Amino acid sequence: MDLVSVIIPYFKKKKFVDQSISSVLNQSYSNIEIIIVYDDEDKSDLEYLRKIYNSNKKIKIIVNKKNIGAGFSRNRGIRESKGKYVCFIDSDDIWKKEKIENQINHMRKNNYKISHTSYEIINDKNEIIGSRKAKDFYNIKDILTSCDIGLSSVILEKDLINDQIQFSNLKTKEDFVLWLKILKSKVIIGGLDENLLLWRKTKNSLSSSTIQKLFDGFRVYKIYMGFNLIFSLYYLFCLSLNFIKKRFND
């Protein structure tokens, strides 16, 4: 059974983090390590995490000297990881018990180096308010104007990550850049249509900020994809339109 490394960036999610970590520890796939990357300059939650989890041999807590953002924190967690596979869960999301096992089996069966799953969207009260369906992505055109890959649903082989292919330093689209780079390298992102993740949408989360999404979306196309101004604005318009459609359907 190959080791799976689970990367959890932490920033002010004390209310939900225990539920997230418990959902990882309770996985039917047992050969895991958990790397918590503490990314808050306020260390008030650090002692709480250490008190509860320092004695668990599966868990390692890394502390950033300063706030570097979720994307760079995940990159640091990947560098510290020892598993053949790396997966990610934000500290307010929840995995179903068979998440890792079913997904690894699906990847082996289909010879995928990276995969994602369908997921349900929940609010602060754990109420389901929406869902997203996973599918296979073959090239960047498949997600250029709409990305439904839930970060906390992704598992990938660690050797996919290198100096060029890793998380960017954006606030809300750091994962979008990574998926585009992986697809650009001609690697298929496989989809498993099973709801194995509960993705939490909170009112004050960065992912819920429309202005931030617009700003970061433009940077994805202009800076990271190298498109000119016209194409960047065009794709940003398409991305925003699809975002509005998804919000309306939730």
CATH number of the domain residue 144 falls in: 3.90.550.10
Euclidean distance between CA atoms 95 and 55, whole angstroms: 22
Across residues 228-234, what is the average pLDDT?
94
Count of domains for the chain: 1
Across residues 211-218, what is the average pLDDT?
87
The pTM of the full predicted model, rounded to 2 decimals, is: 0.91
List the domain range (segments joined by +) for residue 185. Answer: 4-249
Q: What is the pLDDT of residue 119?
A: 97
Of 134, 225, 138, residue with least CA distance to 176: 225
Q: What is the pLDDT of residue 207?
A: 52
175-196, pLDDT tens digit by residue?
Answer: 999 999 999 999 999 999 999 9
Decide: 143 and 221 in contact? Cβ < 8 Å: no
Query: Is 63's pLDDT higher than 70?
Result: yes
Decide: 123 and 129 in contact? Cβ < 8 Å: yes
Q: What is the pLDDT of residue 30?
A: 95
CA atoms within 13 A on the CB side of 111: 1
DSSP string, 28-53: S---EEEEEEE--S-GGGHHHHHHHH
Q: What is the CA radius of gyration of the chain?
A: 17
Query: Is 2's pLDDT higher than 60?
Result: yes
| Residue 210 pLDDT grade (very low, low, confident, very high; cuts 50, 70, 90) | confident
